[in-house]
Structure 1
Amino acid sequence: MTRASLVVVNYNTASDLRACLASAREKLGDAEVVVVDNGSTDGSVEMVREEFPWAPVFFFGKKGKV
């Protein structure tokens, strides 16, 4: 059973997002982590899918139109 959920909103901050997700896994253990991407063009979505496959990514191509 998931004890906590963390939703991370991202827009073109791949290196910060990488650090955030690594820290979340270390500190929160089995907490659910979801990434909502707001149309990034810096490879953020691909990075999450490759390096953090346990974190689902929701990609919205138009900034501000969730």
Structure 2
Amino acid sequence: MLILPPGNPRVVALLSGLGINHLDGSFGVEVPDIDLPGFADADLRTVLLHLYDQRFVVLRTQGLT
């Protein structure tokens, strides 16, 4: 059984429902199909935790408008 601390980005991502994919070679993470205008505070916290943990986050969107 793997026990991760509650502030761990992987646990937060599972709880938030964001589809976060780890990139090859410990390069970082990708958040596909993100809705930036409808981005909730909890989602932002999750992305920032991943940025802190992985040092690189790719946000794939349909556009910024």
TM-score by length of 2: 0.38
TM-score by length of 1: 0.38
The structure richer in strand per residue is 1
